[in-house]
Chains A and B, each alone.
Chain A
Amino acid sequence: MKRLHKVLPLILIVAVIAGCATVGKTAYNIDAVTVTAIDTSMKMFADLVVAGKVPQPIQDQVKTYYPLYQKSMILQITATQAYLAIQQNQAATQGDVATAKAEAERRIQAASLAILDLVDALSKAGVPQSVLPKSN
């Protein structure tokens, strides 16, 4: 239930994207916030590791979740790019646009879950909540 509570705002983001006329701008801003915040958090995490302040099990968690976050974000961005390209393509049918939109939404949901796992691990490592992407 706690996890669902955390995911709800992200589901709302998906709903906003789905209903928003400026999909590109919304997706771009969300990616800018997420990628910038995770990059900053990972730098802080690495400083804590080098300072010997992060227990090995937490380091292992971040080491596991970071590549999953990368992979899901890359798939999400690629799907968003494809959706925008199809939207701008005059020859695309309504069916093409709907399929690309559904794929982008599916990838956004998967990326949201991967972000939550990574943020939880980074939080346990001692990265302040104020630096991490907002997830609740």
Chain B
Amino acid sequence: MSELAVMIIKLAIQYGIPAATAAVELMKKPDPKPEDFDVFLKTLAKSYDDYINEAKLKKV
């Protein structure tokens, strides 16, 4: 089994099927174009404080 498949199964076990499905969707591109990488740039725009604030909101 590939490392990729193992990671997807772990995601599914720990975070449920939606998280694993999202990961699989990201990897479906058969022949990615330069602009397809923009999805990662958007994810990388999230700051350290954004993560902490989201977790605080979840707890409230």
- Are A84 and B10 neighbours in the complex by a CB distance under 8 Å? no
Interface size on A, residues (CB 8 A): 41
A70-B44, A80-B37 given as contacts; is B54 within 8 A of A29 (CB)? no
Which residues of chain B are near A131, meaning CB under 8 Å?
A: 10, 14
- Dominant SS among interface residues on chain B: helix
Which residues of chain A are near B33, meaning CB under 8 Å?
A: 24, 84, 88
Interface residues of B in 15-33 (CB under 8 A from A): 15, 19, 22-23, 26-27, 29-33
Question: Contacting B31 at CB < 8 Å: which of A24, A33, A49?
Answer: A24
Interface size on B, residues (CB 8 A): 35
Which residues of chain A are near B46, meaning CB under 8 Å?
A: 39, 42
CA of A27 to CA of B27, assembled, Å:
10
Which residues of chain B are near A25, meaning CB under 8 Å?
A: 29-32
A29-B4, A32-B23 given as contacts; is B10 within 8 A of A130 (CB)? yes
Shortest Cβ distance from residue A21 to the other chain B in the assembled complex, whole angstroms:
11
A28-B36, A40-B15, A50-B56 given as contacts; is B48 within 8 A of A134 (CB)? no
- A96: Cβ under 8 A from any B Cβ: no
A62-B48, A84-B33 given as contacts; is B55 within 8 A of A43 (CB)? yes
- Are A43 and B14 neighbours in the complex by a CB distance under 8 Å? no
Report which B residues bind A (CB closer than 8 A): 3-4, 7, 10-11, 14-15, 19, 22-23, 26-27, 29-37, 40-41, 43-44, 46-48, 51-52, 54-56, 58-59
